[in-house]
Amino acid sequence: MRGYRPEAGSDLVAFGEVVNETTFGRRRDVDLGEARIDWVTTGAVIHETKSSRSPSPAHDAQVRHYCLLLERRGVNVRGGIVHYPLIRRTTDVPWNDQARDEAETAEDEARAVIAQAAPPDRQTRAACRGCSYLDYCWGT
């Protein structure tokens, strides 16, 4: 599972990339190897574009994770913005001590799942809607 990046084969991710490119075509993504940030503006503000029509706590968690990754590389991160071009809305994601703690806790929880001898039970399929790992978990 290490290094597995299902984004390359995901139709949902492909759709999101089209939305991102047609909305923010001049922006360049930042590839960290383990993650790809849509773009970072001056002052180290992380921008993530979502094709979803409704904001999700998972979207904010993703931006906090990116903030943590950049901070570990010595970048003085200010926070992030999640863009929802289909509904013409943005949400601000602050980067402070609480956000850092949440990102580190989420990372610890993910590592604990990865370290298990057996994979956890699958979520209901409806809970997986929009996840790029859907085919990995539910594929035949």
What's residue 124's pLDDT? Answer: 83
pLDDT at 11: 55
Q: Check residue 35 and give its pLDDT.
A: 84
The predicted pLDDT at position 41 comes to: 87
For residue 60, is it within any domain? yes
According to the model, what pLDDT value does residue 94 have? 97
Q: Where are the beta strands (DSSP E) in 5-140?
A: 30-31, 36-37, 39-41, 45-49, 79-84, 89-94
Residue 116 lies in a domain: yes
Indicate whether 56 belongs to any domain.
Answer: yes
The percent helix, strand, coil of the chain (3-state, each to 5) is 45, 15, 40
Q: Give the residue numbers spanning the domain of 94.
A: 6-138
Instruction: Give the E-state strand segments of the chain in sequence order.
Output: 30-31, 36-37, 39-41, 45-49, 79-84, 89-94
Q: Is residue 30 part of a domain?
A: yes
pTM of the shown model: 0.75
Give me the number of domains the chain comprises. Answer: 1
Residue 1 lies in a domain: no
In a structure prediction context, what are the per-residue pLDDT tens digits for the chain, which is 140 residues long?
445 555 555 555 554 555 445 454 556 778 777 888 888 888 889 999 988 888 999 999 999 999 999 999 999 999 999 999 999 999 999 999 999 999 999 999 989 988 999 888 888 888 777 777 777 777 75
In a domain, residue 103? The reply is yes
Question: What 3-state class would DSSP assign to 111?
Answer: helix
User: Whole-angstrom Cα distance, residue 45 to residue 55?
Assistant: 19
- For tokens 């849509």, what's the residue? 38
Give CA–CA dist 13/140, Å, rounded: 20
